[in-house]
Each structure stands twice: as structure tokens, then as C-alpha cells.
Structure 1
Amino acid sequence: MRRRGDVLLLAVLALLADGPLHGYEVRKRLDQRLGVFRALSYGSLYPALRALQAGGCITETTGQRLPGTVSPRRARVVYEITAHGKDRLAEMLEDSGPEAWEDDAFGVHFALFTRVAPRTRLRVLEGRRARLLERLEQLSRSIERTQAQLDAYALEAQRHGLETVRSEVDWLERLISAEAHPGTARPHAPHPEEKH
């Protein structure tokens, strides 16, 4: 749970680095730009905002009207990143270790790749590939062990999982190649989910 919480803090800081936002807008943009937070509740968001504020990463003001928003009936709280928050964001992005290779965390880190150095992007992509190759091996062994005991649909579900992981590994291979050879044209490499 703590890992998902850390990813949420990273995502919120990245959004606020683009400009001040109301809490409602933070939640909306987390869903739109970083889809792993589709089911995020305000019960998770506001503690994260309070933690960032307590750490000196963001400030809040009440009653400020943001450009392009309708004046609310009651004063809304606006969150804004601080200089310390910007430093913390850069630190969190560059310090992308094994936690950045996991499913939810990888999506957020990948969506923020324009903010990090090429070596960091390569490290995250290679780490994700290594994690998926481990998963591929486990899934293959699982299918071999259990295929005689499974009905046709359960077996197909496992095969589908295997193909999904293989597809993502292929996608990562193309991205790694493009990052490793920056002088070459970057091929359009759709994420496996984009193919459907």
C-alpha cells in the first residue's frame, strides 16, 4: 500500500509542477493523464495532499480563482508546488528503482518520462523488461504444470495472460532500442493496450 501511496505523491507533484490546481482538478487529471488512478477516491487524495503540504512540497490557499474555471459558490482550496516540492519531484523521478518497474508505478513513471534524463528512462525500461521476463517464465511454468487440470477456457485465459506479457516485452524492446540509440528516428511503438 505504501508503494501505491508513493506513486500517488509523485503523480500529484508532477501535476502541480504544471500549475496550481483545485483538489477536484487534481483528481480529474490523475484519471485523465495517469489512468492508473481511475478508482482514486478523495479519501486517498486528500491525505496525500496533506502529507505533501506537511513535507513542505506544496502550499494551499483558499478562495483563489484559477484561469478558465467558473467561480464556485464557496471558496475552493488551491494547491501549488513549492521550490522544495520541485526539488523533491526531480529527486523522486531520478531515483527510479525497482518500485518503478511494477504495474501501477511503471505507468506513472512512463507518463512522466519527458521530465527525466535518458539514463533514467533506460533504467526504468530495462527494469520493467526484466520484471516482465521473470513473469513470462513463471506464467510459462504455471501453464505447463496445470494445463492438464484446467478446462479449455481457464487454459485460454492463462495463454492470453502470457501473450499480453510477451506483447509488452516486445513494446519495451522497441522503446529500449530507441532510447539506447537516440540519433535514430524513434519508431511509433504503441503500448499493447493501444492495439485493441
Structure 2
Amino acid sequence: MSATRLLVLGVVHLSGGAHGYQVRSELQGWRAEIWAKIKPGSIYHALKKAAADGLLTEHAEPGSSGPERVLYRVTARGRDEMVELVRDGLRRTHDPTMLNASIAMLPMLTRADAIAHVDERVARLEAELVEQTTWREHPNPDVPEHVRDQAELWAGHARTELEWAKSLSQRLAEGAYTMADDPGSWRTVH
């Protein structure tokens, strides 16, 4: 639910306010159903839940040829939640869905904040690789061989992710992307 919540809050925020159908269309355009495993119904549920939690406000608008529509806007609490979810997704390992959602909303952070959380991910991945290497070099004889092979697969994924995270941190340090504290960011555009 966190990845869906993050993406819903982010799209509503970036839109300056949106209807459920707009949020759904935007996320479908991003192909979020693939990389964030979002189902259309979960978008509407996330909007209602975020409104109930005080992260979004709801404004009824007359429909042009049908029932009223609900326009959602992000509250200050919702912006804070969104930023914290991006931070959490960047530093938490073993949750690719949340990482993908956090990357999609990366510009919600200041440059220094983004670098700090990506670097925290780097440190966690490095520590996990050391632990995995030790475990693989001194395996418990009771652990089946195919499980040890699975650890090799995980270590390969972790090495690739580590390389990617280091590269992202470097690109951010070199000025990649328009971040929250840059001119022209979502914070400075009206």
C-alpha cells in the first residue's frame, strides 16, 4: 500500500489537484501497473484512505454530464507523508516496488536529502553483501545446496543494485534532475 499511497499523493500533488480518473490515467501512462504493481481499484481506495487520514482534501465538483466528481488536493500533512515515503523507499532494501515508486517521485526531495538516502541504501547494500559473502564462504552444512545457489542469485542482484545506486548518487551530485530545491522544481512552479 505504501507504493500506491506514495504515487497517488505524488500525482495529486504534481497535478495541483486531480480527480481519481486523472490519477489513474497518469499512472497508467507511466505503466505503474507493471513496476509498482498498482491495480486501478487500489488507486481509488488509496485516494479515499488518504483523504480519511487527512493527507488529501476532497472537493465535490459538478459533473459535466453526470454525477459530481471529487477533486483531491494534497494537504501539508500529505506532502510530509509523501516526502517521508520517498526517503523510506530509497533507503529500504528488498522492496523493489517501493524503490520504483520512490524513484518516480525522487524530485520531491532536495538534492542533499536524495543523495543522503541513496547513500544510506548503498551502505546497507554493502553491509548485506559482506554478510552474504561470509555466509556463502562458510555455509551451514544443513542448508541445502539449492538454497546456497539462491544466495548467489541474491548477491548478484545486490551487486547490480549497488552499482546502480552508486551511479544515481553520483549523477545527483553532478546535478541530474530538477530537485525540490532547484529553480523550476515542483516547489517553485505555481
Q: Same fold (TM over 0.5)?
A: yes
Letter aligned with residue 91 of structure 2 = W
Q: Distance in 2 between matches of 1:63 and 1:120?
A: 41
Cα 1:33–1:144 change in 2 (3 A) is same
Percent identity at matched positions?
Answer: 15
Match of 1:120 in 2: 113
The structure-2 alpha-carbon separation of the partners of 1:147 and 1:77, relative to structure 1 and needing over 3 Å to count, comes to farther
C-alpha distance in 2 between matches for 1:155 and 1:56: 44
Cα deviation per residue 1:43-82 (whole Å; 9 max; x = unaligned)? x5444322322216131536636xxxxx7xx74744421x
For residues 77 and 98 of structure 1, do their structure 2 counterparts lie closer, same or farther at Cα, with a shift above 3 Å needed? same
Deviates more, 1:52-61 or 1:7-16: 52-61
Alpha-carbon RMSD: 3.4
Q: Cα distance, 1:122 vs. partner?
A: 0.5
Task: Give the secondary-structure state (helix, strand or coil) at the position aligned to 2:63.
Answer: coil
d(CA) in 2 for partners of 1:39, 1:90 = 21
**Contact kept in structure 1, 2:115 and 2:169, CA below 8 Å:** yes
| TM-score (structure 2 length as normaliser) | 0.67
Match of 1:188 in 2: none
Three-state SS of the structure 1 residue aligned to 2:175 is coil
Residue 8 of structure 1: CA displacement? 3.0
Q: Distance in 1 between matches of 2:33 and 2:110?
A: 20
Paired residues in the alignment total: 167
In the TM superposition, what is the alpha-carbon distance from 1:33 to its structure 2 partner? Answer: 3.6
Relative contact order higher in (CA < 8 Å, ≥ 6 apart): 2
- Aligned counterparts of 1:62 and 1:106: Cα–Cα separation in 2: 35
1:91-136: per-residue Cα shift (whole Å, max 9, x none)?
2354455564222333222211123210121022112112212221
SS of the aligned residue for 1:146 comes to coil
1:101 to 84, 91, 95: 91
> Residue 169 of structure 1: CA displacement?
0.5
Structure 1: segments with no counterpart, 5+ residues: 66-70, 184-196
5+ residue gaps, structure 2: 177-190
Which of 157, 174, 187 aligns to 1:181? It is 174
- Superimposed CA distance per residue, residues 123-177 of structure 1 (whole angstroms, 9 cap, x where no aligned partner): 22112112212221232233223375543x5443321210110011111111212
Quick one: distance in 1 between partners of 2:38 and 2:87? 25
TM-score using structure 1 length: 0.65
Is this contact kept in 1: 2:55–2:76, CA < 8 A?
no
Aligned positions of 1:83-162 closer than 5 A: 85=74, 87-95=76-84, 97-98=87-88, 100-102=90-92, 103=95, 104-146=97-139, 149-151=143-145, 153-162=146-155
Correspondence for 1:21: 19
Which residue in 1 is equivalent to 2:37? 38
Once the two structures are TM-superposed, the CA of residue 26 in structure 1 deviates from its matched residue by: 2.5
> Structure 1's 142 and 39: CA in aligned 2 closer, same or farther, altered over 3 A?
farther
* Structure 1: distance between partners of 2:153 and 2:75: 41
2:187 matched residue in structure 1: none
Q: Is 1:10 aligned to residue 2 of structure 2?
A: no
